[in-house]
């Protein structure tokens, strides 16, 4: 048996290995997904913004809310939205309650494109994840990652 130091160190090691495994699995899956034909017309990061908007009940999100969901700097998101707007897929609106804020919403074309890519994307995901894990395992993975995300978000 190791003493307290050994126990603490093994807890640290477990956390590190868990994160490493989560990260590498994300890389492996993402690599496959983004190489699919669905993302020839629109990069994954841009699709992700359309997707996030499509899932939001009000249909509108502040840029800083979107920024929380995406691994991009504030300025990069601003310019990514520029590109989406130039393509007519999203619309910027002044936030009614905050003069500094910008609300983003999907245009009709943006919504259509999201659905089109989304259908294929979801199929690709199912082909990768479905054979890898049983439904119970998927539910458990969903639960654990959601728990982790919630804990980290509440920093």
Partner DNA sequence: TATCGATACATGCAAATGCATCTAGTTTGA
Partner DNA sequence: TCAAACTAGATGCATTTGCATGTATCGATA
* Interface residue list for DNA (CB under 7 A): 43, 45, 62-64, 67, 71-76, 78-83, 92, 95, 98-102
Residue 112 touches which member of a second copy, DNA, none, C-beta under 5-8 Å by kind:
none
Of 24 and 79, which has the nearer Cβ to a second copy? 24
Query: How far is the CA of 73 from the CAs of 63, 69, 96, 109, 142, in angstroms?
Result: 11, 11, 25, 26, 26
- In terms of Cβ atoms closer than 10 Å to its own Cβ (0-12, 13-18, 19+), residue 102 is middle
133 binds a second copy (CB under 8 A): yes
Shortest Å distance, C-beta 149 to DNA: 19
Binding piece for a second copy, criterion CB under 8 A, among 75-83, 88-96, 100-108, 129-137? 129-137
Cβ–Cβ < 8 Å for 61, 28: no
How many angstroms separate the CA atoms of 98 and 107, rounded?
Answer: 22
Cβ–Cβ < 8 Å for 114, 47: yes
Of 82 and 137, which has the nearer Cβ to DNA? 82
94 binds a second copy (CB under 8 A): no
Taking CB under 8 A as the criterion, the residue among 3, 4, 28, 120 binding a second copy is 28
Determine the size of the site formed for a second copy (CB under 8 A). 52
Of 60 and 141, which has the nearer Cβ to DNA? 60
- In terms of Cβ atoms closer than 10 Å to its own Cβ (0-12, 13-18, 19+), residue 136 is exposed
Taking CB under 8 A as the criterion, the residue among 31, 79, 99, 103 binding a second copy is 31
How many angstroms separate the CA atoms of 17 and 23, rounded?
Answer: 10
């Amino acid at each position: 048996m190791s003493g307290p130091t050994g126990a603490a160190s093994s807890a640290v090691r477990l956390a590190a290995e868990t994160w490493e495994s989560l990260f590498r699995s994300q890389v492996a899956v993402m690599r496959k997904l983004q190489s699919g034909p669905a993302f020839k017309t629109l990069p994954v990061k841009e699709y992700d913004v359309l997707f996030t908007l499509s899932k939001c009940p009000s249909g509108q999100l502040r840029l800083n809310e979107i920024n929380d969901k995406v691994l991009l700097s504030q300025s990069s998101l601003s310019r990514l939205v520029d590109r989406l707007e130039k393509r007519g897929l999203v619309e910027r609106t002044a936030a009614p309650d905050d003069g500094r804020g910008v609300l983003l919403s999907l245009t009709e074309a943006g919504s259509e494109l999201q659905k089109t890519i989304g259908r294929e994307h979801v199929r690709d995901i199912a082909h990768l994840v479905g054979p890898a894990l049983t439904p119970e395992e998927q539910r458990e993975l969903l639960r654990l990652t959601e728990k982790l995300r919630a804990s980290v978000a509440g920093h």
